Structure formats: C-alpha cells, structure tokens
Amino acid sequence: PARPDMLAVPDPDAVIQLPWNKEIAWVPGNCVMEGEDVAQAPRNVLRRLIKEAADEGLHVKTGIEAEFFLLTPDGEEISDPFDNAEKPCYDQQAMMRRLDVIREISDYMLELGWGAYQNDHEDANGQWEMNWDFDDALATADKHSFFKFMAKSVAEKHGFRATFMPKPVEGLTGNGCHAHISVWDAPGADSRTNVFAAEKGAGDIAELGLSEQGGWFLGGIMKHASALAAITNPTVNSYKRINAPRTMSGATWAPNTVTWSGNNRT
C-alpha cells in the first residue's frame, strides 16, 4: 500500500498468437512504475544488458534445453504407470504412450516458426526434454516463458500436469535447463560470426575451438558461479538436486563443483 501501481506494458514485437486458440495472444510485458522501467524486473534487466553489450558490438544468442515431468493431475505421481524402467532415457515405448502430448507441443512450435528439432524421453521416469533453435537472448527468454505455459496448457488438455520444478520427485533425476550461450557480430539474421568460436589449435581452450574471448567469458562464469546460483537456483527446491542421493538411473545430472571441460558432465 505504500507504493504506486506497477504496470506491465505489453511488448508488441514479442506477441505470440496461441496456436490452439487463435482468438488469444500471449504478450510479454515490461514492468513500469511512475513512468520508469522497474530496474529489478528480469525482462528489464535483460533488455538493459543487451543494450550494454550491443554498445560494445556484442550480440548474445542463447538456446535452452527445457525439461519437465508429466504427472497425474494432483501432481502426486508420474502420469504413466508403465514408465517404470530403471534406466528409461530414450525409451521409445514411453515416448509412444505420450506421443499425443509431445507431438502436439512440437507441432505448435513448428507452426510458430521456432525450428523445433528434437524431443526425447529424458533420464527420469515421466520426464521429457524438447528443443528448438537458438535465437537472440530476449527472444529465447520469451519463448522459454511461453513454452512452459504451452506445455502446461497442452498437458492439462490431455488430463495430465506438466511441471518444470527442479526436483519434483524424490529418487528421480530433477529437471534441468541447460543454456547454450554465444556472442555474435550482429543481432538476428544479420549475424555472421560467432566471436566465441575459433579454429582448433594447441592449448586447453583452443583445442575445443574456443576463442580467447570465449575463454574469458568462461572464466567469468566460473568466477561468479557461486553468486549466479542465486539466479540459476532461485527456490529451495532447486537445492534438492545438488548433492542429492543417487537416483534410480544412477545420476542426478546436477553439478556441485565449479569446473569446466570439453564434455565432462560430472
């Protein structure tokens, strides 16, 4: 009661027409108070950082790997009682039993022009991952928010509940969200050069095809990893993945050390 109203001002450039209900549009907004952008609002923070990077000739592109569980409507159990293998990752039978849900979400992404290219049954029973093409950072962030809304809406239509909660089921692998980050010479379709990429050469970084600038970025991630946890692990449930007991499949897929490597997931 001591503060004025906060308004969400729609961003018309980011409007998405619901593929399953053409009369409705989903529109992200920028939080405004007393005529000024709310400095702490995540979308405003990202917009500000995008501008700062652009002023230095840097254009960040991101891709994400969204993971979620399909549960019963009350959220108490996974939706498919037959999805009970010890190591169910890529289980084609489980995929077929939930194909209607996964296919519908994927078809909507294709209709929206996202470039959906891969869907799979993930490491845990009842868990799925769906991927689409990377894009400018703000566009990917908006798509990610909409994807969660879309997945939940389609799941409800089929009588299930979709959850992106980091650790919804004790004893099973949690939901992660891998982020793929690159910096380019221009935004959108005008980009031609990934400045993080380089010809493979000698040295720990160069042998991976990572440029010196890419190495500095990686170093920055490591330097600030502990502080970044406040953003990447924003809820109590997030920390139930870290140092969690071994799951049924044998892995939690949640790193607990600040390290880097070419392909070491531990």
Q: Is residue 183 part of a domain?
A: no
Q: How far is CA 57 from CA 183, 187, 215, in A?
A: 10, 10, 18
Residue 80 confidence class, pLDDT cut points 50, 70, 90: very high
| CB-based contact 214:205 (threshold 8 Å) | yes
Reading the block at residue 43, the tokens are: 């979308």
Q: Is residue 40 part of a domain?
A: yes
The distance from CA 148 to its chain's CA centroid, rounded to whole angstroms, is 9
Range of the domain at 46: 7-55
Q: How far is CA 29 from CA 26, 43, 44, 138, 256, in A?
A: 10, 8, 9, 12, 35
Match 């406040």 to its residue by tokens.
Answer: 230
Q: Worst-scoring range by mean pLDDT, 13-22, 39-48, 194-203, 255-264?
A: 255-264
Q: Is residue 79 part of a domain?
A: no
Q: Is residue 16 part of a domain?
A: yes
**Which pTM value belongs to this model?**
0.94
Q: Is residue 102 part of a domain?
A: no
Q: Is residue 19 part of a domain?
A: yes
Per the structure, the count of domains in the chain is: 1
Nearest CA among 190, 71, 206, 171 for reference residue 127 = 71
